[in-house]
Amino acid sequence: MTIETSTKVWAFHNSNSDEKAELDNIDDLWDHLDNFRKRYSNSVGILIAPDGQHLNLGRSNVMNDYTVLPQELGYVEHCPADGNPPYLAPVEDPSISIGDGILVFRYADELSEIPRRYCVKLSKMKEIVRHFMATNRLPDWIMWEQI
């Protein structure tokens, strides 16, 4: 999927509605994530860079077996500007395997199952996004895997 942006500012798009917003900084992004999280449980939003590459961002505490985790975890997926692979996700804890649980997110009104391996603490998600917005690159201080 290619997301077009003709503006030189960062944009945020809710994958489950037509809501879009221009962003000046990460605090604006966090406000949008918090607001749509309250209205659209476990939804994924899309942070669009001025050059078209984007991060899919989500928060969830629900496993696919309906277990509720004590705290939310974040999901980050990097997509190139042309929309073609590779799609990358951070691995905060390499000891967690693909089979160690699945969290459920809502993307474009469809339930998406994401392995726990590719979910990070919200504080780490914020660090990743802050780095990406400041440098327009993925941080090299966390491992990334193609998904």
Cα–Cα distance, 99 to 62 (Å, whole number) = 16
Query: Into how many domains does the chain fold?
Result: 1
Q: Give domain status of residue 5, yes or no.
A: no
Q: Give domain status of residue 4, yes or no.
A: no
Domain extent for 116: 10-146
Which pTM was predicted? 0.86
Q: Give domain status of residue 139, yes or no.
A: yes
Q: Give domain status of residue 86, yes or no.
A: yes
Q: Give domain status of residue 89, yes or no.
A: yes
Q: pLDDT tens for residues 24-42? A: 777 777 777 777 667 667 8
For residues 10-20, give the mean pLDDT: 75
Q: pLDDT tens for residues 85-112? A: 999 999 999 999 999 999 999 888 888 9
Q: Give domain status of residue 112, yes or no.
A: yes
141-to-28, 103, 127, 132, 137 alpha-carbon distances in Å: 24, 24, 10, 12, 12
Q: Give domain status of residue 3, yes or no.
A: no
Q: What is the pLDDT of residue 141?
A: 98
Q: Give domain status of residue 106, yes or no.
A: yes
Cα–Cα distance, 62 to 41 (Å, whole number) = 10
